Structure 1
């Protein structure tokens, strides 16, 4: 796909310095870009590449001074990083939405309905009484169980599994290998020490603009719904257990795990390998740093926590400094004790 620099400037709301009719067909890093590529400059340490890049066009800030001649056409925008991100989204949508039609073999139940402009890849399966909106993309080997609802412009990538009764909103993305709606980990201990499975009869509800990463698992509720609210983004290899409720625009990084019946507020950040015990709540605007283990509810908004068990990031960092000094402090204590005069005998 080719675009003129003028068209790019229109998409990002920028102004052109140079050849507005020059064409670009790819996006690239400024230090690696060649002819036909569009790059961006947002970090000052990469400025030297602006004068040597082979890119046809570069997105820059409006107040960036030029210290020497620039061969590339410039597109000046208020926020180059955000503008380039917008172009990545535009490019991804343009290429993905180019998929249309049905590849064979694939299966669509007679009782299922799917809107106009859809794509069904080879070996995909859509079960009974499913309702899929317009421009939905179902990539090869994806499985859509019975009675699933998927909103307009959502994408189900290759090999994803969507279990029965799941509800997926508009513009959602389920990446390869993700499993949404599988049974929660519910087993009742028996008098003889064995365990009996508790039927999981609830579902999973994803609101609009939710993204689920590759090989992430979201369990259905025992009863009711496991709920992922609007705009939340979940990374690869994350476990979300049954009856969780995750608020709006929260982000969860890879290898994190949430036990059952956890409630996460809006605009929270869970960094990599965060673990949360069951049946607690986390206030909105909370940040849990990498490898944090949370054992009790966070009731005050805006906190940044770290460690296991979790406590204030700043206090945790101070404690880490002391921890690193423990061998030295032990030697000093031993020296002081050795030099201390023996106490007088009574």
Structure 2
């Protein structure tokens, strides 16, 4: 990477404030900036670093106005965060892409392999699977039978793609993820638990990303579906027959029980748990550790707590909760005072009747 601030601004449709000819060769966070590096500022919590950073240029939002003198060059763009994402993507795409099938990989003779595909050592491609053009499969990946992998998708080492799974275009599946393992389905009776065969599949639409060690279970029948653009973090569990609608983001250690539908553009923060057979409206946010036990029907809402409540209501309840010890002491004192008043009142009554 070697570009001037002006070249980057022109590419992003931005403008330069400062030296347009400064040369940028790398990226760095604003707080750890160095000469030749390009940084970004989108969260104003980090604004103070702008005035001391050693980075040669910083991406900022077009409406940003510094409150102090700035010595570095600013590149003003409509959205600094998405601009950074675009530049990092371009850098990655410029790197040499491996191609070819390792002699140490196993590819079933019935599998169909597209053009420009890379399959690393000790990876396995099963019967009747179809691998699209430009797919990169790193070493030690398992792809089962009758699997479809869309164009330009990437599967990192130790990912497992079980039979009948459909992966769309430009998907990313990180190490240790298991897509299409059996759902947790058992029929109990007096003799114990009887396994219910899971005969469905998993469908990942285009531009889905699955984090390391995440698990998405195949359906009992039909399909577990992750719609286009959804982003699933590490260590997430999505049970059989769930549907995650488009552009939803689910953070680490969250779990979704079976047959639940998560609406489009939902955000699940870390360790959110959602019970089975529920539906959530579009554009709903769940704060960390929220437990959802019923349908969420209102779009554009924020929920928190266990069981989930509207965020403001839940925060008020939490504020009261931390006051409980003091409230308990006050209640005990009031009860003691009431008992004392009762004793005094009874004594007055006795004296009155004695006259």
TM-score by length of 2: 0.89
User: In structure 2, do the counterparts of structure 1 residues 120 and 36 end up closer, same or farther at CA, with 3 Å as the change threshold?
Assistant: farther
In structure 2, the residue corresponding to 1:282 is in which secondary structure? coil
Corresponding pairs, count: 343
Query: 285, 288, 307: which is aligned to 1:287?
Result: 285
Structure-2 residue corresponding to 1:114: 113
- Matched with 1:12 is 12
Shift of 1:62: 4.1
Q: Distance in 2 between matches of 1:45 and 1:203?
A: 44
* Contact persistence 2:50–2:70 (CA under 8 A): no
- What is the 5 A alignment of 1:266-305? 266-305=264-303
Query: Hey, what does 1:29 align to over in structure 2?
Result: 29
**Inter-CA distance 171–47: structure 2 relative to 1 (3 Å threshold):** same
Unpaired segments ≥5 residues, structure 2: 351-355
Aligned to 1:93: 93
Equivalent residue runs for 1:1-346 within 5 Å: 1-17=1-17, 20=20, 22-44=22-44, 46-47=46-47, 49-62=49-62, 64=65, 67-68=68-69, 70=71, 72-95=72-95, 98-192=97-191, 194-340=192-338, 341-342=341-342, 344=346
Per-residue deviation, 1:36: 2.9
DSSP 3-state at the match of 1:129: coil
1:102-124: per-residue Cα shift (whole Å, max 9, x none)? 33411222111122222212211
> 2 CA distance for matches of 1:60 and 1:311?
36
Change in Cα spacing, 1:144 to 1:332, as seen in structure 2 (3 Å) is: same
Task: Please say which structure displays the higher CA radius of gyration.
Answer: 2
The 3 A distance-change label for structure 1 pair 171 and 337 is same
Give the TM-score normalised by the residue count of structure 1: 0.91
Shift of 1:65: 5.0
What is the SS of the residue equivalent to 1:335?
A: helix
- Relative to structure 1, the CA distance from residue 270 to residue 69 in structure 2 (aligned partners, 3 Å threshold; closer, same or farther) is closer
Q: Secondary structure at the match of 1:308?
A: coil
Given the superposition, is the C-alpha separation of residues 282 and 61 from structure 1 closer, same or farther in structure 2, using an over 3 Å criterion? closer
Alpha carbons of 1:332 and 1:18: their partners in 2 closer, same or farther (altered >3 Å)?
Answer: closer
Structure with more helix by fraction? 2
Which residue in 1 is equivalent to 2:353? none
Return the offset for 1:52: 4.2
Whole-angstrom CA distance in 1 between matches of 2:285 and 2:243? 17
- Cα deviation for residue 46 of structure 1 reads 4.3
Distance 1:326 1:219, change over 3 A: same
d(CA) in 2 for partners of 1:53, 1:267: 35
Q: Which whole-Å CA distance do the structure 1 matches of 2:40 and 2:3 have between them?
A: 16
Structure 1 residues without counterparts, runs of 5 or longer: none
Aligned-pair Cα RMSD in Å: 2.3
Q: Are the structure 2 counterparts of residues 116 and 24 from structure 1 closer, same or farther at C-alpha, using a change threshold of 3 Å?
A: farther
Cα deviations by residue, 1:290-334 (Å, 9 ceiling, x for unpaired): 111111122222232211111121111111111111111111112
Helix, strand or coil at the partner of 1:329: helix
